[in-house]
Chains A and B, each alone.
Chain A
Amino acid sequence: MRGKAMNEKNQNRLQNRHSEHLLGTGTPMCAGCGGLAAIKEIYDVIGEKSVFINAAGCMTLLANYPFTPFRGSWLYTAMACAPAGAQGVRDALDILLAKGRLAAAEDLETVVLTGDGSANGIGLSATSGAMDRCLDFLYICYDNEGYGNTGQQASAATPLGARTATSRGPLGYPGRKKDLFAIWAAHRPTYVATVSPSHPLDLVRKLETAKNLKGPRLVLAFAPCPTGWGFDPKEMIEVGKLAVQTGIWPLKEYREGKVTHTIVPRPRLPVDEYLRRQGRFAHLFQPQRNEDVLQKIHSSVDAYWDAIES
């Protein structure tokens, strides 16, 4: 949570400022945070009849005593177990509803909110378990492709070649980004979707769909991270657009066994246009092009879309 220190007065002042979104302003997130931009758009759809169950990550400091930007409820758990927290809350609400101790109007949507570190790694077992049990919950993951909160170390969601605080060598991160969408889909949940804050109409439509369904639902939000990725905060939306237009971040949804791409970039822009915008990939272009790594990145994007479009 670098650069997020903020005094109370300042926070209070910002919090009272008019916001077009339901989520309050004045949070201590970095300027140009793509994750926060996505959550603002998402919260407008989900609304305040919700309890956000959070795991350790950047967004944990959204609720920072005594302030919160959420008009609904919030429960911080730990890094590994937000879906288990959702299980306990959901089960208890169902018990209270069944016993007539909770009016239907007082019911809440149980929403898990975590970053990619929790979603792909330490919390994956709890997530998988919640899906086996057909838990009725909505999982919002903001994917900034690293442990952003602790200074952008490589996570299971870090893409090949990216420089992170734990992969500073000339090749960048040597691993491969985990396919969380496919992992979820393999569990046959109710709904899985990817979104990007740069494509708000697509995002809102998917959130509306997710909101009106029951069962396990994931909305995986692309979260361009100026602090961790090395770009100017004002370019956040642009970076999001390029990720979609170059085919790096496919916008898609899974329902009833079928995956549909909601936006197919045609023509696809060259991947380098996306990579070149970010400091974390600069070493792939300077002092000279790293053809080997770039080739691997290009061909994996090409292979993905060839399979979709054939």
Chain B
Amino acid sequence: MKRILLTGNNAAAWGARLAGVEYVPAFPITPQTEIIETLAYWIDSGEIDCRMTTLESEHSMITAAGAAAATGVRVFTATSSQGLLYGMEMLYTVAGWRAPFVMVNVSRGLSSPITLEPDHNDILAARDSGFLQIHCATCQEVLDGILLAYRLAEHEKVRLPVLVNMDGFYLSFTREPVEIPDAAAVRRFLSGYDAENIRFRAGAPLSEAVAVLGGTLYSYFRYEMHLAALNGLKAFGEIAADFAAIFGREYRDVEGYRTDDAELVFVMIGSFATKAKEAVDRLRDAGIPAGLVRPILLRPFPRERIRNMLAGKKGVAVIDQNLSLGMGGILHAEISSALYGVAGSQPIVAGFIGGLGGRDISAEEFYQMANETLQAVEEGHAPPPRLLFAREELAEVRRMQQIAGVTRNAGESHE
């Protein structure tokens, strides 16, 4: 075991390396590219016994990943944002092949307008695909999350691909101290890939992914996948326990930070949750009993755990780094649904949209969200979702719009 400074991308490459991946279908996209470059370097220098094939699109990349996993090798791949959406048809498709592999997504805001910095609309667009989802808040979690993800994906009661998500820039390009586990210890945690009965062999013909006609078969196979995904909740618990026993780091499907005696709880996923922790500490210094609930596993959805952690709280502030246009925050809807239909008084659930396209969320804004949520608790009803956006930002936008207008008009005058 050694502890060094690694970017999230390097940590992802290390996770794949330690998992003993045999095949990496690849396609470059910012801010993910460093992952496949790192793996390519290790392959070229003979440090790992692995094959990489660069496909001509993410659609093909995900197809090749699923096909190779279905043929019996351990597969890793990575993408981001537009790439994830370009491959969306195949996310749903390969999940149905029940061929487990792990894909890292480095979150980045979606076009239009095109941008580079992160939010979670990309990964949440894959929410219903059949891929399970692990959301990381630190570079260490990225490495560990990949090891956990292989165990989860290949678990005999699950057999579904897993997406491991990290935020672009905030994790992908940020160096943090990371413990790199010993390869021997990793082998105790994660043995070689067993393709079970899904593999192509001349001596054992197999038809995969054949058409079904009529809703009966379709319903059966789709619901079977849903039940397999739900099996992931129990499986994750067992796997995390094994992980803790070997590596000493504990993971739960939902992390709670100072939640036990909290009255006000933030809920969020990803790296910005580390900012929320800091805010929780400062709020407690100021006498406000705050806490944080951070789902690490988002699919399967740890409904019971979230319910239990939020039961009896006064106010919940869900911070969504995504926007379901015409609706609001996606997590807000999921958390609200988890709390609905439970006997007893439920917390007021306020929704905030923040951090779109990499916009920072300041400490000040966390305090404000706490205040607004507590005020809503007083008033007894949840406010409509709000965008975190400062007056100065609006002024800046207006200034830019003016410049854009001038530029456009200048262009017109030449015609």
User: What residues of chain A have their CB less than 8 Å away from a CB belonging to chain B?
Assistant: 48-49, 51, 53, 60-61, 63-65, 68, 70-78, 80-81, 83-89, 91-96, 99, 101-102, 105-108, 125-126, 128-129, 132-133
Contact = CB atoms under 8 A, between A and B. Distances in A.
B210 A95 contact: no
Interface string B35-68: 0000000000000000101011101110111111
B64 A73 contact: no
A65 B57 contact: no
A74 B208 CA distance: 6
10 contacts: A72-B205, A76-B211, A80-B59, A84-B63, A88-B71, A92-B23, A95-B22, A95-B23, A105-B202, A105-B203
A70 B205 contact: yes
A92 B211 contact: no
Given A78-B90, A129-B55, 16 more contacts: A53-B67, A65-B212, A73-B208, A75-B67, A75-B200, A75-B207, A76-B208, A87-B64, A88-B25, A88-B71, A89-B70, A92-B72, A95-B23, A95-B51, A95-B73, A108-B200
B205 A96 contact: no
A48 B205 CA distance: 8
B201 interface: yes
Contacts of A125: 56-57, 60
A88 to B, nearest CB: 3
Contacts of B57: 125-126, 129
Contacts of A89: 67-68, 70-71, 200
Contacts of A71: 205
B202 A88 contact: no
Given A75-B209, A96-B73, A49 B202 contact: yes
Contacts of A60: 211
A102 B212 CA distance: 31
B209 A91 contact: no
A92 B60 contact: no
A271 B212 CA distance: 42
Which of A53, A91, A106, A133 has the most C-beta atoms of chain B within 10 angstroms of its own C-beta? Answer: A91
A106 B201 contact: yes
Contact of A85 (B51, B63, B73): B63
Which of A70, A80, A85 has the most C-beta atoms of chain B within 10 angstroms of its own C-beta? Answer: A85
Contacts of A126: 56-57, 59-60, 63
A76 B209 contact: yes
B271 interface: no
Contacts of B217: 65
A87 B200 contact: no
B274 interface: no
Contact of A129 (B51, B60, B211): B60
B213 interface: yes
B200 A76 contact: no
B238 interface: no
A74 B57 CA distance: 23
Contacts of B211: 60-61, 63-65, 76
B63 A88 contact: yes
A76 B208 CA distance: 7
A125 B55 CA distance: 10
Given A78-B93, A84-B60, A92 B73 contact: yes
Nearest to B97: A75
B66 to A, nearest CB: 7
B206 interface: yes
Given A49-B202, A73-B200, A84-B61, A91 B68 contact: yes
Contact of A128 (B56, B59, B61): B56
Contact of A88 (B22, B65, B207, B212): B65
Nearest to A109: B202
Contacts of A75: 67, 70, 200, 207-209
Contacts of B89: 78, 80
Nearest to B67: A88
Given A102-B201, A106-B201, A84 B64 contact: yes
Interface string B234-248: 000000000000000
